[in-house]
Structure 1
Amino acid sequence: MDLHGIDLNLLVAFDALMAERSVTRAGTRIGRTQPAMSAALSRLRSLLRDELFVRGPNGLQPTPRALDLAEPISHALGEIQRTLEFTREFVPSTSTVSLTLGLSDHPTFLVLPRLVAILREKAPGIALSVRNFTNRDDAISMLDAGEADMTIGVPPTSTGRILNVRLFDERFVCILRKDHPAAKHLDLKTFLSLSHLLVSPENERFGVVDAALAKKGLKRRLALTLPHMYAAPALIASSDMVATIMEGVVAASGQAEKLSVVTVPLELAPVQFTLSWHRRNDTHPAQAWFRSCVSAAFPEILL
């Protein structure tokens, strides 16, 4: 079938006829007169080579062909509606757009509950999907491919097509079990004498601590390397190991009362987290509104 000859309004009329099973009510539903709806039905029958609807005791009855077409046409119209919705004035309280947010592990725990609450309160019709990523540059791939509308994580490699706004920084701290003797005075010598847990979401065995030590010609002893940062506090709480992790992970882990949190005996730059999105989506009203919600949520969360 040549799609160039199909009038989208005919599909809208078909969808209305399926919903109302009456030419008159279907016309009222989409703002057409009865003669116009009758003409649309005639054109549909000619186009699809099927009666589509026949008169029955309770109104129009769809044929098997019409029943086969009903769901795909309704789905296609819904997708077109959602795609074109951003071209109109965006009203959060009535919007039904779908948004996809890419999150690395820490923002998932820190921010997602607050964002869900914002949507529930201000935009209950918006559907939010979350996708996880680990490698910082996976965010670029997701945004380029349209697999995510925006991402939150460690800043990806700089590129002109990806826009960023800084959200918050996380400083590093050392954690040991609550009664660990080294917690009373963790200097560099004591730090190096301990067995270390390394959190490496990207599965590397050389982290920021190792880089700082290498500048001093020093190395630490790694006892355990794992990709899941939120597993670290519980493991440390029941072992003799030390871990150097972001302070916010400790606070959000539910394990803080079982741990001693002390200053790292090294100079480590804080980790920056950014909100990123593709330049092509910069003026999308729904996405711009949601980005403003993300930016506003962080100061409240981190107070």
Structure 2
Amino acid sequence: MNLLVAFDALMAERSVTRAGIRIGRTQPAMSAALSRLRALLGDELFVRSPDGLQPTPRALDLAEPLGHALAEIQRTLEFTQIFEPASSTATFSIGLSEHAAFVVLPKLLARLRQLAPNVVLRMRNFVHRDDAITLLDAGEADITIGVPHTSVGRILSQPLFEERFVCILRKDHPEAGRLLTLKSFMRMSHLLVSPENERFGTVDAALAKQGLRRRLAVTLPQLYAAPALVASSDLVATLMEGVVRASGYADKVYVSQPPLDLGPVAFNMSWHRRNDVHPAQRWLRAIVPNLEFGG
């Protein structure tokens, strides 16, 4: 790399002395660099003339591609020091769980169109919460957004938003319009939504504390298919309210408060500690929490 910088300076200045001044090297150091370049490339590269050093045809062939390469390296190094969103063409890789994609992406894209219209987003899907760690460790995602994963020291996280649980029934279900009691809840056939393909969810854990077990008729990995199934069946499903709202079936189902204390579902933004101080990624991480996810 040092030799290429020396070559670029010699092309610009056509003088060993001036080239050394340009890049902060002594004349003997520049002469030594030129000797090494000649040996490595098998060409004189520069020959003396009354007007100073003149490049050989081989040097002229090398000048443009090497100049472009050095300029690109310089831009890369500058990128790590400062980030200008309005002119940036950076690519951000984001890992998203299914519901996070529905909640975050439309708002994020709209915001980036305003602030950084030329950046590129590359989305990565993950299902199991701990797959977010795998994406971050492998450098395949700059940030991930989903429910909290296993805590590890190298992965940093920030809370973004919460979703509360609701129960849904078809509009003309016999229990629709009534206060949903635990007794009626337990009489029904249930649809369990589990992207991670588990058969023991949050509701089951809450029921188990009371010595109860519900009847699962359907276990489904796709969040947004659940309201459609409930709207045309006798099933009851306990879902995040935001899923019902975004599914397009909110007006086709009856929504009720669960007869259990379930607590909200948290969604976090996570990133790898090695990227904590990167200016571009710090900028992105500052944008995401201000997207106003509620409502």
- SS of equivalent to 2:176: helix
Shift of 1:86: 3.5
Rounded Cα–Cα distance in structure 2 between residues aligned with 1:76 and 1:243:
59
8 Å CA contact 2:3–2:37 kept in 1: the answer is no
Q: Which amino acid is the alignment partner of residue 170 of structure 1?
A: E
Rounded Cα–Cα distance in structure 2 between residues aligned with 1:137 and 1:201:
13
CA deviations on 1:98-152 (whole Å, 9 max, x unpaired) are: 1111111111011101111111111112111110111111111111111111111
Counterpart of 2:294 in structure 1 is 302
8 Å CA contact 1:164–1:277 kept in 2: the answer is yes
Rounded Cα–Cα distance in structure 2 between residues aligned with 1:129 and 1:256:
30
Compute the TM-score of the two structures, normalised by the length of structure 2: 0.77
8 Å CA contact 1:82–1:97 kept in 2: the answer is no
Q: Which amino acid is the alignment partner of residue 302 of structure 1?
A: G
Counterpart of 2:182 in structure 1 is 188
The alignment status of 1:242 with 2:236, answered yes or no, reads yes
Shift of 1:74: 7.5
Counterpart of 2:106 in structure 1 is 113
Q: Which amino acid is the alignment partner of residue 160 of structure 1?
A: G
Rounded Cα–Cα distance in structure 1 between residues aligned with 2:106 and 2:184:
38
- SS of equivalent to 1:175: strand
Q: Do the aligned partners of residues 104 and 85 (structure 1) sit closer, same or farther apart at CA in structure 2, a change above 3 Å counting?
A: farther
Q: Do the aligned partners of residues 230 and 9 (structure 1) sit closer, same or farther apart at CA in structure 2, a change above 3 Å counting?
A: farther
Counterpart of 1:285 in structure 2 is 279
What stretches of structure 1 of length at least 5 have no aligned partner? Answer: 14-26, 37-42, 51-64
> Could you say what the CA RMSD is over the residues aligned between the two structures, in angstroms?
3.4
Specify which of 147, 150, 155 is matched with residue 143 of structure 2. 150
Rounded Cα–Cα distance in structure 2 between residues aligned with 1:129 and 1:191:
42
Counterpart of 2:47 in structure 1 is none
Rounded Cα–Cα distance in structure 1 between residues aligned with 2:88 and 2:74:
11
Compute the TM-score of the two structures, normalised by the length of structure 1: 0.76
Shift of 1:84: 3.0
Counterpart of 2:90 in structure 1 is 97
Aligned length: 263
Rounded Cα–Cα distance in structure 2 between residues aligned with 1:47 and 1:94:
39
Specify which of 197, 205, 223 is matched with residue 199 of structure 2. 205
Q: Which amino acid is the alignment partner of residue 288 of structure 1?
A: R
CA deviations on 1:145-203 (whole Å, 9 max, x unpaired) are: 11111111111111221111111111100011111121222211111111111110111
Q: Which amino acid is the alignment partner of residue 126 of structure 1?
A: V
Rounded Cα–Cα distance in structure 2 between residues aligned with 1:91 and 1:104:
29
Rounded Cα–Cα distance in structure 1 between residues aligned with 2:123 and 2:75:
18
Shift of 1:82: 7.0
Identity %: 60
Rounded Cα–Cα distance in structure 1 between residues aligned with 2:248 and 2:125:
22
8 Å CA contact 1:93–1:122 kept in 2: the answer is yes
- SS of equivalent to 1:257: helix
Choose between structure 1 and 2: higher helix proportion. Answer: 1
Counterpart of 1:131 in structure 2 is 124
Rounded Cα–Cα distance in structure 2 between residues aligned with 1:115 and 1:283:
21
Q: Which amino acid is the alignment partner of residue 260 of structure 1?
A: Y
